[in-house]
Amino acid sequence: MNFGSDNQYGVDPRILQAIVDANARLTDTSYCHDDGAKAVDARLSAIFETEVKAFLVVNGTGANSLALSAITPPHGGVFCHEGSHINEDECNCPELFTGGAKLLALPGAHSKLQPATVTEKLKRFGHGEHAPKPSALSLTNATEAGTVYSPAEVKALADVVKPHGMKLHMDGARFANALVALGCSPAEMTWKAGVDVLSFGGTKNGAMLLEAVVFFNLPLADDFLYRRKRAGQLVSKGRYLSAQMLAYLQDDVWLANARRANRLAQVLAKGLSQSNRVRITNPVEANEVFAVMPKATYEAVQAKGAHFYDWPLDGLGNDEIHCRFVTSFATPEEHVNQFLALMREVA
């Protein structure tokens, strides 16, 4: 009964088989210039309904930090949510890769930024070179709170920052989960709403080591080959990355995996909400569930083999704990049911 993270589950067998198949053949060239990498560009361009330039990397921190380095100068500022991964969980890597740009963290309920908050922050930058130059806005979709931005919400934020010359980055570590939750197209969720560059996630949704930096604003990608190499994210045997991505996208594996993870989150949330000792704290829109429960309940189910994390939240009672549950494409459904039965037993 592991709900700690979608990172704690393994690799989709179809993607693993693609890696094995890639191992059985030589390639025309190395360092991510193989035919598979070219095929990835073509496939993603078809999916997003526009020409894109995609660069494969091995983790989300690398994807986010490199993407931001392409749109933010060292003297720039990146607006982001205070709970975002780039602000709390990437060990200053965005600052390192941008050469010193400042993350400007803003509040927002359920980890979502609002246009009024961003507008108000922009009003404070009236001292020229004495402050960072507002250069980028980074949104996470799905967010760290398990919520999603609709295309209209993304566009509303883009309409605030674009007149200031700012670029829009989307952290899509759980992009597929957000997409299937919304039921819109990849194009509607990204470039049609104003996104310039996307960190397109695969690792959390069935890949082994796989993220892509996808540029919709193509001139921004002009020197990205050098940025990726300098950051140590250029893989010499790049065919193992392109093989993963092509298998991930083949027959919509990425969407089916996300749908399953999201569905299990709904099952889990519904079951938890039936207890009068548990309250759901965030809308359950992707594959994460956040809930408050008594500490005694938390300790009891953990002792019986359930694994999930406590999560910071202000205003808790002394006997309460806030928890995060993450469902994966590979979470056994019987584990969800087993956990809910255990919750009923200990409560």
CATH number reported for the structural domain that contains residue 287 in this entry: 3.90.1150.10
Answer for the pair 60, 199: CB distance below 8 angstroms, yes or no.
Answer: yes
Residues 6+ apart with CB under 8 A from 49: 185, 186, 187
Per residue in 263-286, pLDDT (tens digit) is: 999 999 999 999 989 999 999 999
Mark whether 174 and 293 lie in a shared domain: no
Answer for the pair 336, 327: CB distance below 8 angstroms, yes or no.
Answer: yes
Mark whether 193 and 276 lie in a shared domain: no
Regarding beta strands 279-280 and 211-215, do their DSSP bridges make them parallel or antiparallel, or are they unpaired?
unpaired
Mark whether 181 and 118 lie in a shared domain: yes
What pLDDT sits at residue 25? Answer: 83
Mark whether 213 and 260 lie in a shared domain: no
Q: Which residue has the higher pLDDT, 125 or 254?
A: 254
Mark whether 164 and 312 lie in a shared domain: no
In a domain, 275, yes or no: yes
Distance CA 170, CA 154 (A): 9
Q: How far, rounded to the nearest angstrom, does the alpha carbon of residue 265 sit from its chain's CA centroid? A: 17
Q: What is the mean pLDDT of the chain?
A: 96
Answer for the pair 268, 340: CB distance below 8 angstroms, yes or no.
Answer: yes
Mark whether 231 and 174 lie in a shared domain: yes
Average pLDDT rounded to a whole number, residues 41-66? 98
Distance CA 252, CA 260 (A): 13
Mark whether 158 and 72 lie in a shared domain: yes
| CATH code for position 230 | 3.40.640.10
Closest CA to 194 of 150, 148, 236: 150
Say whether 137 sits in a helix, a strand or coil. strand
| b/e burial code for range 112-128 (CB count within 10 A of at least 16 → b) | bbbeebbeebbeeeeee
For 316, phi then psi, to 5°, come to -75, 150
Tell the burial category of 314 from Cβ atoms under 10 Å away from its Cβ (0-12, 13-18, 19+).
Answer: exposed
Mark whether 217 and 86 lie in a shared domain: yes
In a domain, 297, yes or no: yes
Number of domains composing the chain: 2
Residue range of the domain that includes 27: 12-253
The answer to whether the bond into 142 is cis (omega within 30° of 0) is yes
In a domain, 3, yes or no: no
Q: Which residue has the higher pLDDT, 81 or 315?
A: 81
Per residue in 83-108, pLDDT (tens digit) is: 999 999 999 999 999 999 999 999 99
| DSSP element (H, E) containing 80 | strand 76-81
Average pLDDT rounded to a whole number, residues 253-271? 98
Mark whether 291 and 171 lie in a shared domain: no
In a domain, 294, yes or no: yes
Per residue in 168-226, pLDDT (tens digit) is: 999 999 999 999 999 999 999 999 999 999 999 999 999 999 999 999 999 999 999 99
**Which of 11-15, 24-28, 65-69, 215-219 has the least mean pLDDT?**
24-28
Per residue in 278-335, pLDDT (tens digit) is: 999 999 999 999 999 999 999 999 999 999 999 999 999 999 999 999 999 999 999 9
The answer on pLDDT for 28 being more than 70 is no
What pLDDT sits at residue 201? Answer: 98
pTM of the model: 0.96
The answer on pLDDT for 126 being more than 80 is no
* Residue that terminates a domain, selected from 189, 219, 253: 253
Mark whether 262 and 241 lie in a shared domain: no
In a domain, 4, yes or no: no
Q: What letter represents residue 342's amino acid?
A: L
Distance CA 108, CA 145 (A): 11
User: What is the percent of the chain with per-residue pLDDT over 90, rounded to a whole number?
Assistant: 93
In a domain, 2, yes or no: no
Cα angle for residues 257, 262, 258 (degrees, 5° grid): 20
**Which of 25-34, 98-107, 135-144 has the least mean pLDDT?**
25-34
For 118, phi then psi, to 5°, come to -65, -40
User: What is the percent of the chain with per-residue pLDDT over 70, rounded to a whole number?
Assistant: 100
* Residue that terminates a domain, selected from 230, 253, 276: 253
Mark whether 213 and 281 lie in a shared domain: no
Mark whether 268 and 341 lie in a shared domain: yes
Sheet with 102-106, side-by-side order of all strands: 53-57, 211-215, 197-201, 167-172, 133-140, 76-81, 102-106
Distance CA 341, CA 330 (A): 20
Answer for the pair 322, 298: CB distance below 8 angstroms, yes or no.
Answer: no
What pLDDT sits at residue 347? Answer: 75
* Residue that terminates a domain, selected from 219, 234, 253: 253
Answer for the pair 181, 207: CB distance below 8 angstroms, yes or no.
Answer: no
Residues 6+ apart with CB under 8 A from 127: none
